[in-house]
Structure 1
Protein backbone atom coordinates (compact mmCIF):
# COMPACT_ATOMS: atom_id res chain seq x y z
CA UNK A 1 0.00 0.00 0.00
CA UNK A 2 1.49 3.32 -1.11
CA UNK A 3 0.17 6.47 0.58
CA UNK A 4 1.03 10.06 -0.28
CA UNK A 5 0.88 12.90 2.28
CA UNK A 6 0.33 16.23 0.48
CA UNK A 7 1.70 19.15 2.51
CA UNK A 8 0.26 22.66 2.09
CA UNK A 9 3.67 24.32 1.78
CA UNK A 10 7.05 23.96 0.13
CA UNK A 11 9.80 21.99 1.87
CA UNK A 12 11.33 24.79 3.89
CA UNK A 13 14.85 23.64 4.78
CA UNK A 14 14.68 25.48 8.10
CA UNK A 15 11.91 23.07 9.14
CA UNK A 16 13.77 19.91 8.15
CA UNK A 17 13.89 18.65 11.76
CA UNK A 18 10.09 18.94 11.83
CA UNK A 19 9.53 17.03 8.60
CA UNK A 20 11.91 14.25 9.61
CA UNK A 21 10.45 13.91 13.10
CA UNK A 22 6.86 13.76 11.86
CA UNK A 23 7.68 11.26 9.10
CA UNK A 24 9.48 8.95 11.52
CA UNK A 25 6.71 9.27 14.10
CA UNK A 26 3.75 8.50 11.85
CA UNK A 27 5.47 5.81 9.77
CA UNK A 28 5.96 3.77 12.92
CA UNK A 29 2.18 3.40 13.22
CA UNK A 30 1.43 2.21 9.69
CA UNK A 31 0.41 -1.34 8.89
CA UNK A 32 3.07 -3.76 7.73
CA UNK A 33 3.80 -3.20 4.05
CA UNK A 34 2.36 0.32 3.99
CA UNK A 35 4.64 3.06 2.70
CA UNK A 36 4.16 6.80 3.23
CA UNK A 37 5.81 9.49 1.13
CA UNK A 38 5.74 13.23 1.75
CA UNK A 39 5.11 15.60 -1.14
CA UNK A 40 5.45 19.37 -0.89
CA UNK A 41 4.15 22.15 -3.14
CA UNK A 42 6.71 23.80 -5.41
CA UNK A 43 4.80 27.06 -5.81
CA UNK A 44 3.02 27.41 -2.47
CA UNK A 45 2.97 30.83 -0.88
CA UNK A 46 3.47 29.02 2.42
CA UNK A 47 0.49 30.74 4.03
CA UNK A 48 -3.06 29.44 4.60
CA UNK A 49 -4.27 31.57 7.52
CA UNK A 50 -6.68 33.46 5.30
CA UNK A 51 -9.75 32.19 3.48
CA UNK A 52 -8.43 33.60 0.21
CA UNK A 53 -4.90 32.28 0.75
CA UNK A 54 -6.37 28.87 1.52
CA UNK A 55 -8.43 29.09 -1.67
CA UNK A 56 -5.31 29.82 -3.74
CA UNK A 57 -3.31 27.06 -2.09
CA UNK A 58 -6.08 24.51 -2.54
CA UNK A 59 -5.57 24.48 -6.30
CA UNK A 60 -1.95 23.46 -5.82
CA UNK A 61 -2.90 20.73 -3.33
CA UNK A 62 -5.43 19.22 -5.74
CA UNK A 63 -2.87 19.32 -8.56
CA UNK A 64 -0.35 17.53 -6.34
CA UNK A 65 -2.97 14.90 -5.53
CA UNK A 66 -3.73 14.37 -9.22
CA UNK A 67 -0.01 13.83 -9.81
CA UNK A 68 0.17 11.37 -6.91
CA UNK A 69 -2.62 9.30 -8.42
CA UNK A 70 -0.89 9.25 -11.80
CA UNK A 71 2.30 8.13 -10.05
CA UNK A 72 0.60 5.02 -8.71
CA UNK A 73 -0.28 5.87 -5.11
CA UNK A 74 -3.16 3.93 -3.58
CA UNK A 75 -4.40 6.76 -1.36
CA UNK A 76 -3.86 10.47 -0.78
CA UNK A 77 -3.75 12.25 2.58
CA UNK A 78 -4.34 16.00 2.70
CA UNK A 79 -2.05 16.92 5.58
CA UNK A 80 -3.55 20.23 6.65
CA UNK A 81 -6.84 21.21 8.27
CA UNK A 82 -7.10 23.90 5.56
CA UNK A 83 -7.85 21.36 2.84
CA UNK A 84 -9.68 21.03 -0.50
CA UNK A 85 -11.15 17.64 0.44
CA UNK A 86 -14.26 17.54 -1.71
CA UNK A 87 -12.51 19.11 -4.70
CA UNK A 88 -9.81 16.44 -4.51
CA UNK A 89 -12.31 13.61 -4.17
CA UNK A 90 -14.15 14.92 -7.21
CA UNK A 91 -10.97 14.67 -9.28
CA UNK A 92 -9.46 11.40 -8.04
CA UNK A 93 -10.44 7.77 -8.43
CA UNK A 94 -8.51 6.60 -5.34
CA UNK A 95 -9.34 7.16 -1.65
CA UNK A 96 -8.69 10.68 -0.36
CA UNK A 97 -8.53 11.41 3.37
CA UNK A 98 -8.08 14.66 5.23
CA UNK A 99 -6.67 15.18 8.68
CA UNK A 100 -9.87 17.04 9.57
CA UNK A 101 -12.75 14.90 8.33
CA UNK A 102 -11.22 11.55 9.23
CA UNK A 103 -10.18 12.58 12.76
CA UNK A 104 -13.61 14.10 13.39
CA UNK A 105 -15.29 10.87 12.32
CA UNK A 106 -12.97 9.00 14.67
CA UNK A 107 -13.95 11.34 17.51
CA UNK A 108 -17.59 10.29 17.08
CA UNK A 109 -16.61 6.78 18.18
CA UNK A 110 -14.58 8.05 21.15
CA UNK A 111 -17.02 10.39 22.90
CA UNK A 112 -20.23 12.36 22.79
CA UNK A 113 -18.93 15.84 21.95
CA UNK A 114 -15.57 16.87 20.57
CA UNK A 115 -13.70 20.14 20.31
CA UNK A 116 -10.81 21.14 18.06
CA UNK A 117 -7.90 23.22 19.31
CA UNK A 118 -5.98 24.82 16.50
CA UNK A 119 -3.12 27.25 15.88
CA UNK A 120 -4.73 30.56 14.82
CA UNK A 121 -8.11 32.28 14.79
CA UNK A 122 -8.28 32.27 10.98
CA UNK A 123 -7.66 28.53 10.94
CA UNK A 124 -10.43 28.11 13.52
CA UNK A 125 -12.86 29.86 11.16
CA UNK A 126 -11.95 27.49 8.32
CA UNK A 127 -12.29 24.37 10.48
CA UNK A 128 -15.68 25.43 11.87
CA UNK A 129 -16.86 25.93 8.29
CA UNK A 130 -15.87 22.32 7.58
CA UNK A 131 -17.69 21.01 10.66
CA UNK A 132 -20.87 22.65 9.36
CA UNK A 133 -20.26 21.26 5.88
CA UNK A 134 -19.73 17.74 7.21
CA UNK A 135 -22.97 17.94 9.21
CA UNK A 136 -21.26 17.37 12.57
CA UNK A 137 -22.45 20.39 14.54
CA UNK A 138 -24.61 18.24 16.84
CA UNK A 139 -21.61 16.19 17.95
CA UNK A 140 -19.33 19.00 19.12
CA UNK A 141 -19.53 21.75 21.69
CA UNK A 142 -20.72 25.30 21.12
CA UNK A 143 -17.87 27.24 19.51
CA UNK A 144 -16.27 23.90 18.65
CA UNK A 145 -12.97 25.25 17.29
CA UNK A 146 -10.67 27.45 19.36
CA UNK A 147 -7.11 28.63 19.00
CA UNK A 148 -4.12 28.63 21.28
CA UNK A 149 -2.83 32.02 22.37
CA UNK A 150 -0.38 33.30 21.28
CA UNK A 151 -0.73 31.72 17.84
CA UNK A 152 1.69 29.09 16.59
CA UNK A 153 4.75 30.00 14.53
CA UNK A 154 7.75 28.19 13.05
CA UNK A 155 9.79 28.62 16.22
CA UNK A 156 7.09 26.99 18.35
CA UNK A 157 6.83 24.09 15.90
CA UNK A 158 10.55 23.43 15.98
CA UNK A 159 10.59 23.63 19.77
CA UNK A 160 7.75 21.10 19.90
CA UNK A 161 9.85 18.51 18.05
CA UNK A 162 11.84 18.04 21.25
CA UNK A 163 10.14 20.02 24.07
CA UNK A 164 6.36 20.42 23.53
CA UNK A 165 5.85 20.77 27.28
CA UNK A 166 7.81 24.02 27.36
CA UNK A 167 5.25 26.25 25.67
CA UNK A 168 2.85 24.36 23.40
CA UNK A 169 1.18 22.03 25.89
CA UNK A 170 0.43 24.83 28.42
CA UNK A 171 -1.16 26.87 25.62
CA UNK A 172 -3.22 23.89 24.47
CA UNK A 173 -4.32 22.96 27.99
CA UNK A 174 -5.46 26.48 28.79
CA UNK A 175 -7.97 26.16 25.93
CA UNK A 176 -8.71 22.48 26.52
CA UNK A 177 -9.94 23.09 30.08
CA UNK A 178 -12.36 25.71 28.76
CA UNK A 179 -13.66 23.22 26.17
CA UNK A 180 -14.02 20.47 28.77
CA UNK A 181 -15.97 22.80 31.07
CA UNK A 182 -18.40 23.32 28.18
CA UNK A 183 -18.92 19.61 27.55
CA UNK A 184 -16.05 18.36 25.38
CA UNK A 185 -15.00 14.78 26.11
CA UNK A 186 -12.59 14.48 23.18
CA UNK A 187 -10.00 17.06 22.12
CA UNK A 188 -8.67 16.98 18.55
CA UNK A 189 -5.34 18.65 17.82
CA UNK A 190 -6.25 21.03 15.00
CA UNK A 191 -2.87 20.97 13.29
CA UNK A 192 -1.40 18.17 11.19
CA UNK A 193 2.02 18.62 12.81
CA UNK A 194 1.46 19.08 16.53
CA UNK A 195 -0.58 15.89 16.95
CA UNK A 196 2.26 13.48 16.14
CA UNK A 197 4.70 15.58 18.17
CA UNK A 198 2.48 15.37 21.26
CA UNK A 199 1.98 11.62 20.89
CA UNK A 200 5.72 11.15 20.41
CA UNK A 201 6.24 12.93 23.73
CA UNK A 202 3.73 10.63 25.44
CA UNK A 203 1.06 13.29 25.88
CA UNK A 204 -2.33 11.66 25.30
CA UNK A 205 -4.84 13.31 27.63
CA UNK A 206 -5.52 16.64 29.28
CA UNK A 207 -3.80 16.69 32.66
CA UNK A 208 -6.12 16.20 35.61
CA UNK A 209 -8.88 14.74 33.41
CA UNK A 210 -9.80 11.57 31.51
CA UNK A 211 -10.27 13.51 28.26
CA UNK A 212 -8.12 12.20 25.38
CA UNK A 213 -6.04 14.50 23.20
CA UNK A 214 -6.13 12.96 19.73
CA UNK A 215 -3.18 12.90 17.35
CA UNK A 216 -5.43 13.77 14.43
CA UNK A 217 -2.87 13.05 11.70
CA UNK A 218 -2.04 9.52 12.81
CA UNK A 219 -5.70 8.67 13.37
CA UNK A 220 -6.61 10.05 9.93
CA UNK A 221 -3.80 8.09 8.26
CA UNK A 222 -5.06 4.89 9.88
CA UNK A 223 -8.51 5.69 8.50
CA UNK A 224 -6.95 6.15 5.05
CA UNK A 225 -5.40 2.69 5.36
CA UNK A 226 -8.90 1.35 6.01
CA UNK A 227 -10.32 3.32 3.08
CA UNK A 228 -7.69 1.85 0.76
CA UNK A 229 -8.39 -1.61 2.13
CA UNK A 230 -12.10 -1.20 1.49
CA UNK A 231 -11.39 -0.03 -2.06
CA UNK A 232 -9.12 -3.01 -2.71
CA UNK A 233 -11.60 -5.52 -1.24
CA UNK A 234 -14.87 -4.15 -2.61
CA UNK A 235 -13.95 -1.77 -5.41
CA UNK A 236 -15.78 1.05 -3.62
CA UNK A 237 -14.00 4.41 -3.44
CA UNK A 238 -16.71 7.08 -3.66
CA UNK A 239 -20.14 7.80 -5.04
CA UNK A 240 -20.24 8.80 -8.70
CA UNK A 241 -23.51 10.69 -8.22
CA UNK A 242 -24.31 14.29 -7.30
CA UNK A 243 -21.30 16.09 -5.77
CA UNK A 244 -18.71 13.61 -7.06
CA UNK A 245 -20.30 12.91 -10.43
CA UNK A 246 -17.87 12.58 -13.30
CA UNK A 247 -16.64 15.63 -15.18
CA UNK A 248 -16.11 15.74 -18.94
CA UNK A 249 -12.30 15.43 -19.31
CA UNK A 250 -12.21 18.05 -22.04
CA UNK A 251 -14.00 20.60 -19.88
CA UNK A 252 -11.77 20.21 -16.84
CA UNK A 253 -8.65 20.17 -19.03
CA UNK A 254 -9.73 23.45 -20.59
CA UNK A 255 -10.14 25.00 -17.14
CA UNK A 256 -6.74 23.74 -16.00
CA UNK A 257 -5.05 25.01 -19.16
CA UNK A 258 -6.59 28.44 -18.65
CA UNK A 259 -4.79 28.64 -15.30
CA UNK A 260 -1.51 27.38 -16.70
CA UNK A 261 -1.82 24.04 -14.91
CA UNK A 262 -1.57 22.13 -18.19
CA UNK A 263 0.33 22.95 -21.39
CA UNK A 264 -1.75 25.02 -23.81
CA UNK A 265 -2.96 23.87 -27.20
Structure 2
Protein backbone atom coordinates (compact mmCIF):
# COMPACT_ATOMS: atom_id res chain seq x y z
CA UNK A 1 0.00 0.00 0.00
CA UNK A 2 1.43 3.38 -1.03
CA UNK A 3 0.84 6.01 1.66
CA UNK A 4 0.50 9.67 0.70
CA UNK A 5 0.64 12.56 3.15
CA UNK A 6 -1.90 15.15 2.02
CA UNK A 7 -1.12 18.44 3.75
CA UNK A 8 -4.17 20.66 4.16
CA UNK A 9 -3.75 24.18 5.56
CA UNK A 10 -6.89 24.21 7.73
CA UNK A 11 -7.15 23.37 11.42
CA UNK A 12 -7.60 19.63 12.02
CA UNK A 13 -10.26 20.14 14.72
CA UNK A 14 -11.93 23.48 14.00
CA UNK A 15 -12.40 22.55 10.33
CA UNK A 16 -12.93 18.84 10.95
CA UNK A 17 -16.03 18.66 8.68
CA UNK A 18 -13.94 19.92 5.75
CA UNK A 19 -11.09 17.53 6.58
CA UNK A 20 -13.56 14.63 6.68
CA UNK A 21 -15.10 15.57 3.31
CA UNK A 22 -11.67 15.97 1.77
CA UNK A 23 -10.56 12.59 3.12
CA UNK A 24 -13.72 10.97 1.75
CA UNK A 25 -13.14 12.51 -1.68
CA UNK A 26 -9.53 11.36 -1.82
CA UNK A 27 -10.49 7.85 -0.70
CA UNK A 28 -13.16 7.75 -3.39
CA UNK A 29 -10.86 8.70 -6.27
CA UNK A 30 -7.77 6.78 -5.10
CA UNK A 31 -6.68 3.78 -7.13
CA UNK A 32 -6.36 0.37 -5.46
CA UNK A 33 -3.20 0.21 -3.39
CA UNK A 34 -3.14 3.99 -2.76
CA UNK A 35 -3.94 5.54 0.63
CA UNK A 36 -4.24 9.30 1.11
CA UNK A 37 -3.98 10.61 4.68
CA UNK A 38 -5.12 14.20 5.25
CA UNK A 39 -3.27 16.27 7.84
CA UNK A 40 -4.18 19.78 9.00
CA UNK A 41 -2.11 22.64 10.42
CA UNK A 42 -2.17 24.03 13.95
CA UNK A 43 -2.27 26.99 13.83
CA UNK A 44 -3.84 26.95 10.36
CA UNK A 45 -3.46 29.42 7.52
CA UNK A 46 -6.20 31.77 8.77
CA UNK A 47 -4.72 35.16 7.86
CA UNK A 48 -4.80 36.24 4.24
CA UNK A 49 -1.25 37.57 4.34
CA UNK A 50 2.16 36.63 2.97
CA UNK A 51 3.56 36.43 6.51
CA UNK A 52 1.04 33.72 7.42
CA UNK A 53 1.93 31.82 4.24
CA UNK A 54 5.62 32.04 5.19
CA UNK A 55 4.94 30.67 8.66
CA UNK A 56 2.86 27.83 7.21
CA UNK A 57 5.60 27.05 4.70
CA UNK A 58 8.04 26.44 7.54
CA UNK A 59 5.56 24.10 9.26
CA UNK A 60 4.89 22.22 6.05
CA UNK A 61 8.57 21.80 5.18
CA UNK A 62 9.02 20.22 8.61
CA UNK A 63 6.03 17.97 8.01
CA UNK A 64 7.40 16.87 4.64
CA UNK A 65 10.70 15.88 6.22
CA UNK A 66 8.80 13.99 8.91
CA UNK A 67 6.62 12.28 6.30
CA UNK A 68 9.64 11.04 4.38
CA UNK A 69 11.24 9.73 7.58
CA UNK A 70 7.97 7.96 8.49
CA UNK A 71 7.99 6.08 5.20
CA UNK A 72 5.34 7.96 3.21
CA UNK A 73 5.63 7.48 -0.55
CA UNK A 74 4.66 11.03 -1.57
CA UNK A 75 3.75 14.42 -0.14
CA UNK A 76 0.96 16.70 -1.38
CA UNK A 77 0.86 20.43 -0.65
CA UNK A 78 -2.92 20.79 -0.59
CA UNK A 79 -2.97 24.58 -0.77
CA UNK A 80 -3.23 26.29 -4.14
CA UNK A 81 -0.56 28.89 -3.42
CA UNK A 82 1.72 25.97 -2.42
CA UNK A 83 4.15 27.85 -0.12
CA UNK A 84 7.34 25.90 0.42
CA UNK A 85 7.04 23.91 -2.82
CA UNK A 86 10.56 24.66 -4.06
CA UNK A 87 12.14 24.14 -0.65
CA UNK A 88 10.35 20.83 -0.05
CA UNK A 89 11.27 19.43 -3.47
CA UNK A 90 14.85 20.32 -2.63
CA UNK A 91 14.72 18.71 0.81
CA UNK A 92 13.14 15.27 0.31
CA UNK A 93 13.58 12.38 -2.11
CA UNK A 94 9.91 11.38 -2.37
CA UNK A 95 7.56 12.92 -4.97
CA UNK A 96 6.16 16.31 -3.92
CA UNK A 97 3.00 17.48 -5.69
CA UNK A 98 1.58 21.00 -5.39
CA UNK A 99 -2.16 21.54 -5.69
CA UNK A 100 -1.63 24.66 -7.78
CA UNK A 101 1.12 23.31 -10.04
CA UNK A 102 -0.72 20.04 -10.75
CA UNK A 103 -3.89 21.87 -11.75
CA UNK A 104 -2.11 24.45 -13.89
CA UNK A 105 -0.35 21.69 -15.80
CA UNK A 106 -3.60 19.76 -16.22
CA UNK A 107 -5.48 22.84 -17.41
CA UNK A 108 -2.87 23.56 -20.07
CA UNK A 109 -3.22 20.02 -21.38
CA UNK A 110 -6.97 20.55 -21.81
CA UNK A 111 -7.15 24.00 -23.39
CA UNK A 112 -5.14 26.84 -24.85
CA UNK A 113 -5.65 29.35 -22.05
CA UNK A 114 -6.65 29.05 -18.39
CA UNK A 115 -8.39 31.29 -15.90
CA UNK A 116 -8.54 31.19 -12.10
CA UNK A 117 -11.34 32.03 -9.69
CA UNK A 118 -9.96 32.58 -6.21
CA UNK A 119 -11.78 32.89 -2.89
CA UNK A 120 -10.79 36.47 -2.03
CA UNK A 121 -9.53 39.52 -3.98
CA UNK A 122 -6.36 39.61 -1.86
CA UNK A 123 -5.13 36.51 -3.68
CA UNK A 124 -5.34 37.96 -7.21
CA UNK A 125 -1.78 39.39 -7.25
CA UNK A 126 -0.54 36.25 -5.50
CA UNK A 127 -1.84 34.09 -8.33
CA UNK A 128 -0.42 36.49 -10.91
CA UNK A 129 3.01 35.94 -9.34
CA UNK A 130 2.40 32.19 -9.13
CA UNK A 131 1.60 32.00 -12.84
CA UNK A 132 4.74 33.94 -13.72
CA UNK A 133 6.85 31.71 -11.45
CA UNK A 134 5.64 28.62 -13.28
CA UNK A 135 6.21 30.29 -16.66
CA UNK A 136 2.61 30.10 -17.91
CA UNK A 137 2.01 33.81 -18.53
CA UNK A 138 1.28 33.57 -22.26
CA UNK A 139 -1.56 31.11 -21.64
CA UNK A 140 -3.10 32.90 -18.66
CA UNK A 141 -6.37 34.82 -19.08
CA UNK A 142 -6.39 36.20 -15.54
CA UNK A 143 -7.84 35.70 -12.08
CA UNK A 144 -11.27 36.71 -10.82
CA UNK A 145 -12.24 36.63 -7.15
CA UNK A 146 -15.17 35.67 -5.00
CA UNK A 147 -15.63 37.39 -1.65
CA UNK A 148 -16.43 34.48 0.61
CA UNK A 149 -15.71 33.63 4.23
CA UNK A 150 -15.13 30.14 5.61
CA UNK A 151 -18.58 29.78 7.27
CA UNK A 152 -20.29 30.59 3.94
CA UNK A 153 -18.29 27.93 2.15
CA UNK A 154 -18.91 25.35 4.85
CA UNK A 155 -22.65 26.01 4.82
CA UNK A 156 -22.72 25.47 1.05
CA UNK A 157 -21.62 21.85 1.52
CA UNK A 158 -24.87 20.96 3.28
CA UNK A 159 -27.39 23.68 2.37
CA UNK A 160 -28.71 23.68 -1.20
CA UNK A 161 -29.72 27.34 -1.11
CA UNK A 162 -26.27 28.34 0.10
CA UNK A 163 -24.69 26.15 -2.57
CA UNK A 164 -26.77 27.79 -5.30
CA UNK A 165 -25.67 31.23 -4.10
CA UNK A 166 -21.98 30.32 -4.11
CA UNK A 167 -22.32 28.67 -7.50
CA UNK A 168 -24.04 31.74 -8.94
CA UNK A 169 -21.25 33.99 -7.68
CA UNK A 170 -18.67 31.65 -9.15
CA UNK A 171 -20.34 31.60 -12.58
CA UNK A 172 -20.50 35.41 -12.52
CA UNK A 173 -16.73 35.56 -11.99
CA UNK A 174 -16.06 33.00 -14.72
CA UNK A 175 -17.79 35.03 -17.44
CA UNK A 176 -15.11 37.78 -17.71
CA UNK A 177 -12.41 35.10 -17.92
CA UNK A 178 -14.17 33.42 -20.84
CA UNK A 179 -14.46 36.82 -22.55
CA UNK A 180 -10.67 37.12 -22.19
CA UNK A 181 -10.15 33.77 -23.87
CA UNK A 182 -10.05 31.30 -20.99
CA UNK A 183 -10.86 27.77 -22.16
CA UNK A 184 -10.36 25.98 -18.82
CA UNK A 185 -11.32 27.28 -15.37
CA UNK A 186 -9.57 26.39 -12.12
CA UNK A 187 -11.20 27.07 -8.72
CA UNK A 188 -8.07 28.36 -7.00
CA UNK A 189 -8.36 26.69 -3.62
CA UNK A 190 -9.13 23.39 -1.96
CA UNK A 191 -12.45 24.63 -0.56
CA UNK A 192 -14.08 25.60 -3.89
CA UNK A 193 -12.51 22.59 -5.61
CA UNK A 194 -14.09 20.23 -3.12
CA UNK A 195 -17.40 22.10 -3.13
CA UNK A 196 -17.85 21.97 -6.90
CA UNK A 197 -16.65 18.38 -7.24
CA UNK A 198 -20.29 17.31 -6.86
CA UNK A 199 -20.90 18.44 -10.46
CA UNK A 200 -19.52 16.00 -13.00
CA UNK A 201 -19.01 17.59 -15.41
CA UNK A 202 -19.09 21.25 -14.40
CA UNK A 203 -18.97 23.23 -17.64
CA UNK A 204 -19.62 26.95 -18.17
CA UNK A 205 -20.00 28.12 -21.79
CA UNK A 206 -18.05 25.05 -22.96
CA UNK A 207 -15.20 25.75 -20.53
CA UNK A 208 -14.65 22.89 -18.05
CA UNK A 209 -14.23 23.73 -14.37
CA UNK A 210 -11.54 21.41 -13.04
CA UNK A 211 -12.05 18.96 -10.21
CA UNK A 212 -8.76 19.99 -8.66
CA UNK A 213 -8.77 17.45 -5.84
CA UNK A 214 -9.08 14.55 -8.26
CA UNK A 215 -6.35 16.06 -10.44
CA UNK A 216 -3.81 16.38 -7.65
CA UNK A 217 -4.64 12.84 -6.47
CA UNK A 218 -4.01 11.38 -9.91
CA UNK A 219 -0.90 13.51 -10.45
CA UNK A 220 0.47 12.06 -7.23
CA UNK A 221 -0.32 8.51 -8.26
CA UNK A 222 1.43 9.12 -11.59
CA UNK A 223 4.51 10.50 -9.82
CA UNK A 224 4.70 7.40 -7.62
CA UNK A 225 4.33 5.09 -10.63
CA UNK A 226 6.97 6.96 -12.63
CA UNK A 227 9.40 6.81 -9.73
CA UNK A 228 8.98 3.03 -9.64
CA UNK A 229 9.68 2.83 -13.38
CA UNK A 230 12.45 5.42 -13.80
CA UNK A 231 13.95 5.83 -10.31
CA UNK A 232 13.77 9.61 -10.87
CA UNK A 233 11.69 12.02 -8.79
CA UNK A 234 12.95 15.49 -9.67
CA UNK A 235 15.94 17.18 -11.30
CA UNK A 236 18.75 17.92 -8.86
CA UNK A 237 20.29 20.48 -11.19
CA UNK A 238 19.45 24.09 -10.34
CA UNK A 239 15.96 24.77 -9.02
CA UNK A 240 15.52 21.62 -6.94
CA UNK A 241 19.15 20.92 -6.02
CA UNK A 242 19.20 18.72 -2.92
CA UNK A 243 19.80 20.57 0.34
CA UNK A 244 22.93 19.37 2.15
CA UNK A 245 22.32 17.38 5.37
CA UNK A 246 23.67 20.24 7.48
CA UNK A 247 21.10 22.64 6.04
CA UNK A 248 18.29 20.20 6.77
CA UNK A 249 19.53 19.60 10.31
CA UNK A 250 19.83 23.32 11.00
CA UNK A 251 16.30 23.90 9.68
CA UNK A 252 14.83 21.15 11.83
CA UNK A 253 16.67 22.46 14.89
CA UNK A 254 15.03 25.87 14.44
CA UNK A 255 11.58 24.24 14.38
CA UNK A 256 11.99 22.70 17.83
Q: Same fold (TM over 0.5)?
A: yes
- Map of 1:68-217 to 2, 5 A cutoff? 68-83=67-82, 84-141=84-141, 144-148=142-146, 151-162=147-158, 163=160, 165-202=163-200, 204-206=202-204, 209-217=205-213
Query: CA distance change for structure 1 residues 107 and 192 in 2, over 3 Å: closer, same or farther?
Result: same
Shift of 1:202: 4.1
* Distance in 2 between residues matched to 1:17 and 1:201, nearest whole Å: 20
| Alpha-carbon distance between aligned partners in 2 of 1:225 and 1:202, rounded to the nearest angstrom | 21
Structure 2: distance between partners of 1:156 and 1:202: 22
Q: Would the aligned equivalents of 2:201 and 2:208 in 1 still touch at CA under 8 Å?
A: no
Q: Is the 8 A contact 2:9 2:44 kept in 1?
A: no
C-alpha distance in 2 between matches for 1:81 and 1:123: 10
Structure 1: how far apart are the matches of 2:219 and 2:206?
24
Q: Which moved more, 1:131-140 or 1:18-27?
A: 18-27
Distance verdict in 2 for CA 1:139–1:193, change over 3 Å: same
Shift of 1:125: 2.1
Aligned in 2, Cα 1:125/1:217: closer, same or farther, shift over 3 Å? farther
Matched, 1:228 2:229: no
SS in 1 for 2:86: helix
For 1:30-69, list aligned pairs within 5 A: 30-42=30-42, 44-69=43-68
- Return the alpha-carbon distance in structure 1 between the equivalents of residues 201 and 124 of structure 2: 22
Task: Judge which range, 88-97 or 192-201, deviates more.
Answer: 192-201
Distance, in Å, in 1 between the alignment partners of 2:153 and 2:206 is: 26
Contact kept? 1:78, 1:85, Cα under 8 Å: yes
1:166 is displaced (CA, Å) by 2.4
Q: Please, which runs of 5 or more residues in structure 1 have no aligned partner?
A: none
User: Structure 2: which 5+ residue stretches go unaligned?
Assistant: none
What secondary structure does 1:244 align onto?
coil
Taking a change above 3 Å as real, the CA distance of residues 135 and 26 of structure 1, as seen in their structure-2 partners, is same
- The TM-score normalised by the length of structure 1 is 0.89
Number of residue-to-residue matches in the alignment: 252
Displacement after TM superposition at 1:195 (Å): 1.1
TM-score normalised to structure 2 length = 0.92
Q: What SS does the aligned partner of 2:29 have? A: coil
Structure 2 distance, partners of 1:116, 1:48, is 21
Runs of 4+ residues deviating >3 angstroms: none
| Structure 2 contact 85–98 (Cα < 8 Å) conserved | yes
State the superposition RMSD in angstroms. 1.6
Structure 1 residues 48 and 236, CA gap change in structure 2 (3 angstroms): farther
* TM-fit CA distance, 1:139: 1.2
